[in-house]
Amino acid sequence: MDRSKPPANLALATAAFVAGGVAILGLWAVTGNQELAIFYFRYPGAAFLILAAVAESILCHTVHRSFDPGQPMGLCWGLLSMSAACGAVGAACRHLLAYHPELTGAAAGSAVLADFGKDMAGPVAMAIRAAALLVALRVHRKLGFGRGFRLSDWAILAAVGGYAGFEFVRLPGLAASAHGPGAQWYLGWAVYPLIAILAAESVALRRSIAPLLPGLFGRCWLFQIGGICLTAFGMAMEAAISREIIVWPWDSLTWLVWYPAAACFTAVPLYHRWAVSKLVRTGIEESGSWTRSGV
């Protein structure tokens, strides 16, 4: 690996992990032995998700500290750090502590930990990420970025808006069929309108960073969009599996989506820090991104 290019190293490590997962799932399909697959995704897989979220949180925090107090983009990076921290806690509870009650001494609480982890890594982290992107979009808007949406952009926004509206319309029926749902149920439902909001923000973000491309800081935000798109794709696959549209052995491929998604989110602050170090080292300022906004 080239230590001078950490984003490329992250991509290489992620590709290697996913390739290993594909090989192991293929072996499972051929032999019918699932023990190796369970081990791979429960241990190395869980470690990957936890470490990726922890790295994202720490890196976002360091980017946040690089801004002067009161700078709005500092708030954006601070929120991204909080979102990643929630993801790290959620991944640790859901993929580690829930399967190893001896670490907590509460065997009966495994299901509770799994549900708590799912909420932290899901709706809680997604809501904070949506708030962070809203701050970024407002900053870009003030700088004059983000105007000139195309017809395809409006079509996507209409589609995600319609989907979010559909989820709200069917909420009373879903709640009635759940027979007195509690806060846990509503948090689980919230991921669907939240992913619609994040998808809409991704469309706006893609337009707002257009003046910064192909500059280093513009490319940094492409990873954020990629992570959201992969998350939406993974959720769509899970919905298809629950309706038996996707069945074995293809349903197991859903497990592989979350690793490149986690890597994309980690790459956002990683690429930003690498871009800053490269610009400082070379003395290059691209697309005005460093002097105008530092985004």
Residues 238 and 254 sit within 8 Å (Cβ to Cβ): yes
pTM comes to: 0.86
Tens-place pLDDT, residues 188-205? 889 989 999 999 999 999
Identify the CA nearest to 25 among candidates 263, 260, 251.
251
Residue 129: Cβ-neighbour burial (10 angstroms; 0-12, 13-18, 19+): buried
Round the CA-based radius of gyration of the chain to a whole number and report it. Answer: 20
List, run by run, the mean pLDDT of 10-residue segments along the chain (295 residues): 67 93 91 89 89 92 89 92 93 81 59 87 96 94 78 82 80 75 82 92 90 81 94 88 80 89 94 82 50 45
Tens-place pLDDT, residues 241-287? 888 888 877 788 888 999 999 999 999 999 898 888 877 776 554 44
